[in-house]
Amino acid sequence: MITLLSPQTPFDRPPSVDPARHLVLDMNDISARLEGMTAPEESHIVRLLDFAAGWDRSRPLLIHCWMGISRSTAAAYITALGLNPSRDEEEMALELRRRAPSATPNARMVALADRVLDRQGRMIAAVSRIGRGADAAHGTPFVLPLDDG
């Protein structure tokens, strides 16, 4: 389980989730640094990718944030590409849009991951092309495939 919440947001891990299988990334849902807020940083992306790389795939990987629109959709997109280096960035962005119409992946997270994964701007361009998601009060759960086909 991966939790992306603002630093002071209370959250109780479900008892069924082993603490060793739970990554908490404290960050505000912002795309630029703002005083008094915690912007996504490269260290968050590295921790996300390292955690995902250690996932044994015996159970689903739940990625969530407060609204399910920006941070978690960015993390799902980043994780899918991090686990599948040969996947096309645009195809994955289009699949994200198809499965999560309200997804508006956090642009800062995507830009940081693009650099960490050495995607040479392709992740940024792909997410830019799908644009802002549909208006929604909150995202709806979706499954993003990790394997080709």
Segment 62-114, tens digit of pLDDT: 999 989 899 999 999 999 999 999 999 999 999 999 999 999 999 999 999 99
Write out pLDDT tens, residues 2-25: 999 999 898 899 999 999 999 999
Residue 138 forms part of a structural domain: no
Q: Residue 63 sits in which domain range?
A: 2-130
Residue 56 forms part of a structural domain: yes
Written as one string, the DSSP assignment of the chain is: -EEEE-TT------TTS-GGG-EEEE--S-SS--TTS----HHHHHHHHHHHHT--SSS---EEESSSSSHHHHHHHHHHHHH-TTS-HHHHHHHHHHH-TT----HHHHHHHHHHTT-TTHHHHHHHHH-S----SS--------S--
Q: How many domains does the chain have?
A: 1
Residue 137 forms part of a structural domain: no
Is the predicted pLDDT of residue 148 greater than 70, yes or no?
no
Residue 122 forms part of a structural domain: yes
Query: In the prediction, which pLDDT does 149 show?
Result: 46
Query: In the prediction, which pLDDT does 27 show?
Result: 97
Q: Is the pTM of this model over 0.75?
A: yes
Separation between Cα atoms, residue 61 and residue 11, nearest integer Å: 18
In this structure, what CATH number is given to the domain that contains residue 105? 3.90.190.10
Residue 86 forms part of a structural domain: yes
Please state the φ and ψ torsions of residue 147, each to the nearest 5 degrees.
-105, 155
Residue 68 forms part of a structural domain: yes
Which tokens go with 50? 């390292």
Query: In the prediction, which pLDDT does 137 show?
Result: 87
Write out pLDDT tens, residues 28-45: 999 999 999 999 999 999
At residue 99, what is the residue type?
A: R
Residue 145 forms part of a structural domain: no
Residue 143 forms part of a structural domain: no
